[in-house]
Amino acid sequence: MLVLIAGSDLDYCARIGESLRRASHEVVSAADLDVARTFLARAAATDAVVVSGSAAEPVPAEFVRWVHARDEMPVMVLVEDAAPASASHYVNLGAVCAEKPAGPAEVTRWLETFER
């Protein structure tokens, strides 16, 4: 599977990406959502998106909605505070929500539930 990992916490995203690579997935990283959107608009073969947010920079609902609308692409949103209200917000948009620091193994298990 080809997975796009997006987020400004480059070290954290790199750890997630390395775990996915060890599990035989292809990984593309984007340091911000504009780069992620450009990549997704051009790459028809992307299978899933993992996006990392923070309290200072939450993942915009519009971005999650746009990604998920692309062939119902699986989206995992990693947030610093997965309070029920925050998590349900992303779930209602079609994403899975996990609290940071979600372990790389957790992200890998989630990804492996999808067959495309």
37-89 confidence digits (pLDDT tens): 999 988 768 888 999 887 778 888 899 988 888 777 888 998 876 555 567 78
Residue 116 has pLDDT above 50, yes or no: no
89-110 confidence digits (pLDDT tens): 888 888 888 887 777 788 888 8
> Looking at beta carbons, which pairs linking 90-95 to residues 24 or more positions away fall under 8 Å?
90/59, 90/61, 90/64, 93/61, 93/64, 93/65, 93/68, 94/64, 94/65, 94/68, 95/64, 95/68
Is-contact 8 97, C-beta < 8 A?
A: no
Helix (H, G, I), strand (E, B) or coil at 5: strand
Which domains, ranges and CATH numbers included, belong to the chain?
A: 2-111 (3.40.50.2300)
